[in-house]
Homo-oligomer: A and B are copies of this chain.
Amino acid sequence: MKSSASAKIVVLSGGVGAAKLLNGLQKVVDPKDITAIVNVADDTQLHGLHISPDLDTIAYTLAGEIDPKKGWGLKNESWNAIEMISRYGGVDWFQLGDRDLGTHMYRTHRILQGNSLTAVTQEIATSLKVGIRILPVSDNPISTFVSTATLGEIEFQEYFVRHQHNVEIEDVSFKGIKEAEPGPNVIDEIMSASAIIIAPSNPIVSIGPILGVPGISEALQIQKASTVAVSGIINGKALKGPADRMLLELGHEVSPTGVARIYQNVASKFVLDNADAQYTTDIEKLGFTCLATDTVIPSQKKSARLCSTILSTFFPEVLKT
């Protein structure tokens, strides 16, 4: 029987990788004790709609409605709106399924009515019967831009989707981040968490803008003893997305050590893949306690096993509540 004063877990989350981790975590601990604090810096305004890729990937995954092949968008999706846009010669490189559009339309409508992104995210999660609490890191707009040698400064989705991150970058910036405030309850959730997991998301463009919202890093520094980071780099590669390439191009080491250095001030524990066990000593020298285990989580079962291993290693009291 669970105790009434349950231990709370916070997960700092990007999109696909974080969604997979959370999907396993909710098998190991009660979803109502889990809060995902989610990146919003890749949110974009397109066709008049407010699109929040990371929030939606997490909600759809936890609802069991994600397209399992793509890892984003809804399963059983149709593409009639975007096909019509193609007929007009409109912007069709950002693929938006018809059911998915319903989410963006709902969110846009509610925000235009004066509701916060946090409130609307909660409404969407409730409708989709998601048990985990999903909190945007901020209700303020933050926009990721990447500087490229060939294309100049472009908006993140243009880099990520339109050019399929197949262009060399020189810098990344998050417009609006200095003026952004943490969303309601975000700091409270971090400060009252028994365990904080930094998901194996992109350290630069997914976790980076979470840490960059004023107040978040400061709270994590206080909670450093309770914070574990999971490497999204395995064997010199990102499991998904351009994290490896971005790290390299921005002068970081493309290894768990390179990732650990980025989280050095906010986390004290580090999880890397068995394939990278040789980096353990280096990462321990940075002050981390390390766990090398199987971090490849294609299935919910594998993710649950990883989460169980992380918690039993670093936060055994969380599993006991």
Interface residue count on the A side (C-beta < 8 Å): 35
Cβ contact within 8 Å between B112 and A48: yes
Given A99-B84, A101-B81, A106 and B90 contact (CB-CB distance below 8 Å)? yes
Given A48-B50, A88-B124, A89-B127, A82 and B102 contact (CB-CB distance below 8 Å)? yes
Cβ contact within 8 Å between A99 and B83: yes
A112 contact set on B, CB distance < 8 A:
48
Cβ contact within 8 Å between A98 and B80: yes
A109 touches B (CB below 8 Å): yes
Given A47-B109, A48-B112, A88 and B103 contact (CB-CB distance below 8 Å)? yes
For this chain, the copies found in one complex come to 2
A85 touches B (CB below 8 Å): yes
A103 contact set on B, CB distance < 8 A:
84, 88
Cβ contact within 8 Å between A105 and B78: no
A87 touches B (CB below 8 Å): yes
Q: Contact mask A93-134 → B, CB, 8 Å, 1/0?
A: 000011111110110111010000000000110011000000
A124 contact set on B, CB distance < 8 A:
88
A5 touches B (CB below 8 Å): no
A49 touches B (CB below 8 Å): yes
* Alpha-carbon distance between A82 and B98 when the two chains are bound, in angstroms: 9
A319 touches B (CB below 8 Å): no
Q: Report the nearest B residue to A50, measured CB to CB.
A: B48
Cβ contact within 8 Å between A84 and B108: no
* Alpha-carbon distance between A85 and B110 when the two chains are bound, in angstroms: 11
Cβ contact within 8 Å between B81 and A99: yes
Cβ contact within 8 Å between A106 and B127: no
A1 touches B (CB below 8 Å): no
Cβ contact within 8 Å between A78 and B106: no
Cβ contact within 8 Å between B123 and A106: no
**B48, B78, B89, B90: the one within 8 Å of A48 (CB):** B48
Most buried by B among A81, A87, A112: A81
A167 touches B (CB below 8 Å): no
A88 contact set on B, CB distance < 8 A:
102-103, 106, 123-124, 127
A228 CB, nearest partner CB in chain B, Å? 34
